[in-house]
Structures are given as structure tokens and as C-alpha cells.
Amino acid sequence: MSITVRAPAKINLHLGVGAAREDGFHPLVTVYHAISLYDDVTAVAAEAWSTPVDGAAYVDLASVPAGEDNIAVRAGQLLAQRHGLSRRAALSTYKSIPVAGGMAGGSADAAAALVALDRLWGTGTPDDQLLALASRLGSDVPFALLGGTALGTGRGEIVEPWEDNGAWWWVVVPSEVGLSTPAVYRHWDALFPDAPAEPPPAHRLVGALKTGEPLRLAAALHNDLEAAAIDLRPDLGALIEKGQAEGALRGLVSGSGPTCVFLCAGAEEARAVAAGLAAEHPVVLTAHGPVAGAHVLPDA
Ligand code: C5P
């Protein structure tokens, strides 16, 4: 028997960052948004853990950690431990989410592995316990379970669904070279040594998401990490300007980057912006949101 689970990429519609806590993590007020780029994880019972990885041509598969360093395996080990099981599995992953791109691809794989193995093993873990396990695996993993649009607080791991009446269209431009999330946070610390402990709230987004109007959302998008990411990678600033010149309502760095996302007025506009950017960028994708969190796919 095999179980395949699909989990979405995230972008941050709002990413407010506060000064680093004693544990080194930064307090966040963020609005996560799941978009239609997915990783699929197929779990099959096996004697040993393994993580065969395949994916879209633009995904840097070589930099996905193998075996027990892979976050999907760590998810499986945590679930097994939680239920006192000594079971193992092969977790074959098909990746469409860029690696080290600021879109939480590893977190999606972990969330997908939790849901797939919970089904395969028949462990029936209640949602609140699955979310608690997810938060131990990484700050963005609980959101990958939840999907949709959600407020994230704490270090990002405390999530609650957020009202979103829009159907938003995005152009997504991954970078050929990844950016390390810890490096971007460290650079943000250096740029903003006097940052307040409380991250800025997401008030402007509340109204924008309720109206479903792209222009309102464009004006409310906010990412505190953007300055640090662009300082490390000035080409991202040029890319954002170019996308906006091509007709995007607003471009911004996704999370800690380097992927940049562009909000467009609709599907047709997104295709036009993507075509305009494709001349200079080898990979330009379109996606819509919000979409569901990690979910089991019907048998093929
Ligand atoms: O939780 P996760 O493993 O995704 O975090 C990766 C790294 O990103 C952390 O080790 C930390 O350097 C940084 N981080 C942070 N504050 C957060 C989330 C992540 O400093 N709220």
C-alpha cells in the first residue's frame, strides 16, 4: 500500500519581524498564504528510511538532504516515536517547490510525510497533536498542514486560519542560487540592531483580504526581511522593479528569499507578466492562492 500526500508552497503576505529572542529565533507576526505549487510525498512501508527525490527541471534536486538528514524522515521518526512504533518507510518526493527559496519547500515535505505516515500506519493522530509535532520540525511546518491563509505568531509556528475572500494570482520567479534563511535573519539583525521586541502587526491586510480586491492587497503586502534579502542579493531589487514595469500590481521577496512573487490583477495579467519576465529569467511560474494544506491524493 502507498499513500501520496500533496503539500503547498507558502508565501508571506505580511512578515513582521521583532528583535531576536534568547533562543535565537525571531518573534514574528506573519500572514501565510498557500499557493498552487506543490511537493508530493509518497509513503511506502520499508525496512529502512529512504528519500528518493525527483522533481521539476527548475528544482535544484542535488541540494535536497538525503536519508536521515531529510526533514521528511525526521517527521516520520517523530511520528513513530510519538506512537511508540519502530516502523520505517520510503518517502519518495516529487518537488515543484524551489529548494532554499523562501517558500517552505522542506516544511511542505515534512507536513506531507506526517499526514502520509499517519494514514499509512493508521495512527489517527488528532489535528492538534499533528500541529504540535509539526512545530517541533520547523517554524513553517504547522502552516503547511493548515494551508489557506493564516496568521502566524510565536516564531511562526502558532497558526490560525485568517479570513481571505480573494482568489489571488501570482507570478513566481525562483532564483538559480538559493539564500540561507539563517543568513538572511543574521543580516537583518546587523541592519536593524534597535528592532523592537514586538513585530509590526498586520492591520492593513485584514481589510484587504476581506475585500478580495487585488489593488487593496497590493498596497498592504509587507515583508520586513526584504531589505536584508535585497542587500545580500541586489539583483532581487532589479527583478521586482522589472516585474512591476511588466504590469504586476506589486512584487516582493517571498519570506527570506530569494524567490520573488508578483501579485497580478488576474490569471491573464499573470500570464502576461510571466511572459515579460521570461526573456531574462529561465524559470517563471504562475500560481494562485489560497489553496488547501497537506492532503491525501486519491489513488492514481
Ligand atoms: O524553524 P526553521 O528551522 O524553519 O528555522 C530556520 C532558521 O531560520 C532558524 O535556525 C533561525 O536561524 C531562522 N529563524 C529565525 N526566526 C524565526 C524563524 C526562523 O531566526 N521566527
CATH code, 197: 3.30.70.890
- Kindly state whether residue 50 falls inside one of the protein's structural domains: yes
Res 68: pLDDT: 86
Our mutation pick for probing the ligand 1 site, out of 139, 186, 188, counting the most ligand atoms within 8 A of Cβ, is: 139
Residue 297: other Cβ atoms inside 10 A: 13
Res 242: pLDDT: 98
Nearest-CA residue for ligand 1 atom 3 is 138
pTM of the model: 0.96
Strand-pair category, 2-17 with 88-95: unpaired
Res 178: pLDDT: 85
Which numbered atom of ligand 1 lies nearest the CA of 27? 21
Same domain, 58 and 175: no
Nearest-CA residue for ligand 1 atom 19 is 25
Query: How large is the greatest C-alpha to C-alpha distance in the chain, in angstroms?
Result: 56
Ligand 1 and 139: CB distance under 6 A: yes
Same domain, 67 and 81: yes
Annotation says 140 is catalytic? yes
Q: Cα separation of 99 and 45, whole Å?
A: 26
Same domain, 8 and 137: yes
Same domain, 187 and 141: no
Res 187: pLDDT: 98
CA distance between the termini of the chain: 12
Ligand 1 and 30: CB distance under 6 A: no
Res 67: pLDDT: 84
Of 140, 164, 224, 242, the active-site residue reads 140
What size, in residues, is the chain? 300
Which of 108, 137, 162 represents a domain boundary (last residue)?
Answer: 162
Which numbered atom of ligand 1 lies nearest the CA of 28? 21
Number of domains in the chain: 2
Ligand 1 and 25: CB distance under 6 A: yes
Q: Cα separation of 279 and 26, whole Å?
A: 38
Which of 162, 189, 218 represents a domain boundary (last residue)?
Answer: 162
Same domain, 157 and 260: no
- Of the candidates 139, 102, 95, the residue with the CA atom closest to the CA atom of residue 12: 102
Q: Are 31 and 207 in contact, with CB atoms under 8 Å apart?
A: no
- Kindly state whether residue 193 falls inside one of the protein's structural domains: yes
Helices (H) and strands (E) in the chain, counts: 10, 12
Strand-pair category, 2-17 with 53-55: unpaired
Which numbered atom of ligand 1 lies nearest the CA of 182? 12
Could you tell me which residues come within 8 angstroms of residue 110 by beta carbon, excluding any fewer than 6 positions away?
71, 72, 74, 75, 134, 137, 138, 141, 144
Same domain, 18 and 97: yes
Q: Kindly give the distance from the C-alpha atom of residue 122 to the centroid of ligand 1, in angstroms, as a whole number.
A: 32
Ligand 1 and 140: CB distance under 6 A: yes
Same domain, 123 and 269: no
- Of the candidates 170, 41, 159, 45, the residue with the CA atom closest to the CA atom of residue 105: 41
Which of 135, 162, 189 represents a domain boundary (last residue)?
Answer: 162
Which residue range is the domain that position 194 belongs to?
Answer: 168-289
Annotation says 128 is catalytic? no
161: left (phi > 0), else alpha (psi -120 to 50), else beta?
beta
Same domain, 215 and 98: no
Q: Cα separation of 218 and 197, whole Å?
A: 27
pLDDT means per 10 residues in the chain (300 residues)?
97 97 97 98 97 94 90 98 98 94 95 98 98 98 98 98 97 91 97 95 92 97 97 97 98 96 98 97 96 93
- Kindly state whether residue 97 falls inside one of the protein's structural domains: yes
Nearest-CA residue for ligand 1 atom 7 is 182
